[in-house]
Amino acid sequence: MKKSEFLFTFGRILNDGVTIFLGLLFAYFLRMRWFGVFQLSSPTTLFPLDLFYAFAFKITLILLVIMALNGRYKFYTDEKVWDEIVNVFWTYSAGMALILVGFFFSQFTFFSRFIFGVSWLAGLVLLIGGRLLLRKLSEKLHQMGYGKVKILILGTGSIAQKAIAVLIKNPKFEIVGLLSEKKTFEKKFEKIQILGSFKDFENILETCEPDEILVASDKSSEKITSQLVRIAHIHHVKFRFLPDELGLDLAAVTVSTLGHMPLITLQSTKLGRWGYVLKSVVDYSLSLLTLLALSPVFSVIAYKIWRENPSAPIFYKSLRVGRNGKEFYCLKFRTMVPDADEKKKALLEKNERKGGVLFKIENDPRITKLGKVLRKWSLDEIPQLLNILKGDMSLIGPRPHLPEEVKKYAKDDLLVFWIKPGLTGFAQVNGRSSLSFEEEMNYELFYLKNWSLRLDTMIFFKSIWVVLKRKNVC
């Protein structure tokens, strides 16, 4: 997810919240204060302003939730101006109607029907006005180059022609090039550079690094498209297409529009944008609270490791591969002798993990006496809470991968890099130490395609249970 997408969406939420709240305040002051200025009838029921602030804030939150549930804050949207106005009008009006019904059933006596009516009208005007201003602002920012989406179009037929005509009018998009279905092709199509054919797709991805792939081909087949999807997702690039719907086995599909044409987004994981934001909030909150709660334990362990060998480091920093293939240093309490990595080469022939990719041996002679205790209770993992706060890891996710292991992965295995590695994960709580590499990867890919907060919660509590049973989950 690009930062610009989050900021534009957050801007819509902020706009709606502020304008709805101001609409309520305007109605209050008009009825309770300004009527007297114009020598109109005074309000029969007084409602203190300080109480109304709290009341208006609650109403605003309720309306924002209703608008969110109605899809008004989707990250990717290509609504026409009139469609957005109509959708905002009906969602906001329906929300106000639901609140009015709620007042009736809760027997809440609203002190002024005038205030309620004016707040609906004023809020609606401010809300739509703010949305239109945001559109103008985002358009200006796109023209200045901020938040532009680089698109690689696959296709050089009539569908591609229509897509190009729409995209070049929208300052949000930048077409980086085209790929042709044909083996022999012209240098340009619709004044856009043709970079190669479909067979060159993977190489072109590595050179031009687009944000999105758009298949707009008259001749694409299910087999060809499924191959393109796999390659795009391996390279962590968003995949969209304009042809008729295809029967592909994918994790999630979302539908939007591109001009007058239906636009289908094929996703490799159900961990969508708001899901990603929610998961990140949970990660940061729980890891910070856990780190604060375990700070005495953290200090005691660090001191004991230092006492065991004052000349050796307290933490072990291991280079790992995380989300989108980005490398980072994974932190753990040191549980092995300082030259453990050098001694690993001599122990490779004793590897007990099937598949030859991962390394694991029972009674590893490199583990220190204190290290055995830390590993038994998974206490050596505590410093990874710092990795979570830094944004390199998540509480729940795939195992952090070693670069030398990743070099041996099959292309399909690289799909796990769509999400952050985790402190614990689905494979860890299903006997990872006894799993072959293929079995572990199947668990990781299942988690990727079937993510949900419910699944994360299940893994979290099962991880605690596994640790309490004194099973090493690492």
- In tens, the pLDDT along 127-174 reads 999 999 999 998 898 888 888 889 999 988 888 888 999 899 888 899
The CA distance from 148 to 271, in Å, is 23
What is the model's pLDDT at position 225?
A: 79
Per-residue burial over 196-215, b if 16 or more Cβ lie within 10 Å, else e, is ebbeebeebbeeeebebbbb
The CA distance from 331 to 383, in Å, is 6
What is the model's pLDDT at position 366?
A: 81
Q: What angle do CA 418, 419, 423 make, to 5 degrees?
A: 150
φ, ψ of residue 151 in degrees (nearest 5): -120, 135
Q: What angle do CA 320, 406, 278 make, to 5 degrees?
A: 55
Higher local confidence (pLDDT), 32 or 343? 32
User: What confidence tier does 245 reach under pLDDT thresholds 50, 70, 90?
Assistant: very low
Percentage with pLDDT > 70 across the chain: 85
Mean pLDDT is lowest, of 120-129, 150-159, 289-298, 353-362, for 353-362
Contacts of 78 (CB under 8 A, 6+ apart): 256, 257, 258, 259, 263
User: What confidence tier does 224 reach under pLDDT thresholds 50, 70, 90?
Assistant: confident
Is 194 in contact with 188 (CB distance < 8 Å)?
yes
What is the model's pLDDT at position 63?
A: 94
Pairing state of beta strands 173-180 and 149-154?
parallel
Q: Is 15 helix (H, G, I), strand (E, B) or coil?
A: helix
User: Is the C-alpha dihedral spanning 464, 466, 471, 474 positive or negative?
Assistant: negative
| E strand map for 346-471 | 394-396, 422-424
| Chain length of the chain | 474
CA 264 from chain centre, in angstroms, equals 18
User: 420 pLDDT exceeds 50?
Assistant: yes
Pairing state of beta strands 394-396 and 422-424?
parallel
Higher local confidence (pLDDT), 356 or 303? 303
Residues pairing with 333 in the sheet: 315
- The CATH class that applies to domain 149-267 reads alpha beta
The CA distance from 456 to 459, in Å, is 5
Sheet containing 173-180: give its strands across.
Answer: 188-189, 192-197, 173-180, 149-154, 212-215, 238-241, 261-267, 252-258
User: What confidence tier does 14 reach under pLDDT thresholds 50, 70, 90?
Assistant: very high
User: What confidence tier does 474 reach under pLDDT thresholds 50, 70, 90?
Assistant: very low
User: 347 pLDDT exceeds 70?
Assistant: no
* Consecutive H or E run containing 262: strand 261-267
The CA distance from 369 to 240, in Å, is 54
What is the model's pLDDT at position 472?
A: 44
Higher local confidence (pLDDT), 40 or 13? 13
What are the residue boundaries of the structural domains of the chain, listed by start? 3-143, 149-267, 273-468
Q: Output the six-digit token pair for 362.
A: 């029972």
Q: What is each CA distance from 283 to 253, 256, 463, in whole angstroms?
A: 26, 30, 15
Q: What is each CA distance from 455 to 167, 346, 355, in whole angstroms?
A: 39, 40, 28
The CA distance from 257 to 264, in Å, is 8
Please tell me the pTM assigned to this model.
0.62
| E strand map for 323-384 | 327-333
